[in-house]
Amino acid sequence: MSSKPFLKWPGGKYRLVERICKELGPGKRLIEPFIGSGAVFLNSPYDKFLLADNNADLINLYNTLHQEGDSFIEYARGFFLPECNNADAYYSFRAVFNNTNDIRLKAALFIYLNRHCYNGLCRYNGSGGFNSPFGRYKNPHFPEQTMQAFIEKSKHATFISSDFKTTMLKARKGDVVYCDPPYTPLSKTANFTGYSTGGFGWDKQEELATLAQKLASKGIRVVISNHNTPEIRKLYEDAKITSFHVQRFISQDKNNRKKAAELIAVFDNNLDGVES
């Protein structure tokens, strides 16, 4: 049975971990420059992990949970009370989150906001403030068991706040790299880049593909997930591509949550660049 992340995460890879892990191949250490909810990390069998993200709040949470364990779980539980589940409390806690320098409090509030905001959407404004709206859930779940599983798995992990280029350049022979970047938009109106400050435009997509090719030339396997668009297929033309459809769950209209075309690209100089 696969391990589920403790964070809600639109675009997370929990439903695709079996497909992704088949493409990762053997290695001693998995490197993830875009860890997100950690679904792939939690379900892959490597001896060591280097897990990064440019969302410093997310990495702060993971490091706090990794270092404090059960005591942090009990602390975070204190924000999951009935009196905390209303709009006034939510927006008050969101303001505290955006202004506090207390990293333990900020980590606990990240879980609170994730479980109480709309669809678990992690979104920041141009000033770097978390701005996802209140989700109006009847009884938000406190994810104790999945947090415990994360603690156990993280014994073999290192978490760093870093950009993808710096992280990928740490890869050495014997490592496997899995990249789940912000996807290229399917349309102009779908261009969501507010997951962290700075965005992730087409120039970053190109830089990522170039780095993947560079690592592959050194014998390091790189696997990337993205939308299946003509532009992305062209960008990944030197990779082995597997395409498929997945159900999307972020749309506000439950009846309009259509399937989206995605792909997995494998950069490995020992493979032919063909589609499977």
pLDDT number for residue 197? 53
Q: Which pLDDT does position 218 carry in this prediction? A: 97
pLDDT along the chain (276 residues), means of 10: 91 93 96 98 97 97 98 98 98 98 98 97 94 96 98 97 98 97 75 57 96 98 97 97 80 56 95 57
Q: What is the pLDDT of residue 253?
A: 47
What does the alpha-carbon distance between residue 55 and residue 50 come to, in Å, rounded to a whole number? Answer: 15
What confidence score (pLDDT) does residue 191 get? 47
pTM for the full model? 0.91
Phi, psi angle pair for 216, to nearest 5°: -60, -35
Return the sign of the alpha-carbon dihedral for residues 14, 17, 20, 21.
Answer: positive
Angstrom CA distances, 34 to 6, 14, 42, 178, 264, stand at 16, 14, 14, 8, 15
Beta bridge partners of 263: 226, 243
Are residues 231 and 258 in contact, defined by beta-carbon separation less than 8 angstroms? no
Q: In what order do the strands lie in the sheet with 29-32?
A: 157-161, 48-53, 29-32, 175-179, 221-227, 259-267, 240-247
- Whether 13 contacts 19, CB under 8 Å: no
Q: Which helix (H) or strand (E) holds 245?
A: strand 240-247
**Are 170 and 220 in contact, with CB atoms under 8 Å apart?**
no
> pLDDT value at position 270?
84
Beta pairing, strands 259-267 & 240-247: antiparallel
Instruction: Output the pLDDT for position 248.
Output: 64
For the CA atoms of 263, 267, 272, 276, the dihedral, rounded to the nearest 10 degrees, stands at -20
Determine the pLDDT at residue 2.
83
Look at residue 187 in the predicted model and tell me its pLDDT: 64
For residue 267, the model assigns a pLDDT of 98
What are the structural domains of the chain?
14-54+162-267 (3.40.50.150), 67-145 (1.10.1020.10)
Phi–psi pair at 117, nearest 5 degrees: -85, 170
Answer for the pair 134, 91: CB distance below 8 angstroms, yes or no. Answer: yes
